[in-house]
Amino acid sequence: GDSVTQMEGPVTLSEEAFLTINCTYTATGYPSLFWYVQYPGEGLQLLLKATKADDKGSNKGFEATYRKETTSFHLEKGSVQVSDSAVYFCALIMGAAGNKLTFGGGTRVLVKP
C-alpha cells in the first residue's frame, strides 16, 4: 500500500539555521503531496502542497519540490525562527475519489534562540 517515511526527530536548530526535513513516499501511481504543520496543542495546518512532478510548493519561507525520480518531497527553509518550532507531517493522497490521506509519522522541530 501507499506509505510515507519521514526522518525521525527531534531536530534541534539554532535560530537562522537552515532546515531540511526528508520525506520519501511509496505509491502505486502519482499522488499529490502535502506538508502539514502542528503547533503545540493545536490541530494540523496545511503548509504547502504539490500535485504533480517537478511542482514546487512554497509558503511562509518553506519550500518542497515534488521529485518523481527519487519519490521525495523534502521540506526546506533557509532561516528558521523560534516560531517555527512545531511538528511537521508529510502526507500523500492518490487522485481517485474516496482515497484518504496517508501521513508520515511526523518530525518535531525545536528552534532555540
Pairing of strands 75-77, 62-65: antiparallel
With vertex at residue 10, the alpha carbon angle to CA 78 and CA 19, rounded to the nearest 5 degrees, is: 5
Tallying the residues shown for the chain, one arrives at: 113
Stretch that binds another protein, among 17-25, 58-66, 73-81, 98-106 (CB under 8 A): 98-106
- The least CB distance from residue 79 to another protein, in Å, is 26
Q: Note whether 51 binds another protein by CB under 8 A.
A: yes
Q: How far apart are CA 28 and CA 106, in angstroms?
A: 22
Q: Which of residues 21-50 bind another protein (CB under 8 A)?
A: 32, 34, 36, 41-46, 49
Q: Note whether 7 binds another protein by CB under 8 A.
A: no
Q: Note whether 103 binds another protein by CB under 8 A.
A: yes
Cα 29 to Cα 11, 34, 55: the distances in Å are 31, 16, 16
Reduced to 3 states (helix: H, G, I; strand: E, B; else coil), residue 30 is: coil
Residue 18 vs 56, nearer CB to another protein: 56
Residue 52 vs 79, nearer CB to another protein: 52
Cβ pair 99, 29 in contact under 8 A: no
- Contact residues: another protein, CB under 8 A: 32, 34, 36, 41-46, 49, 51, 89, 91, 93, 95-101, 103-106, 108
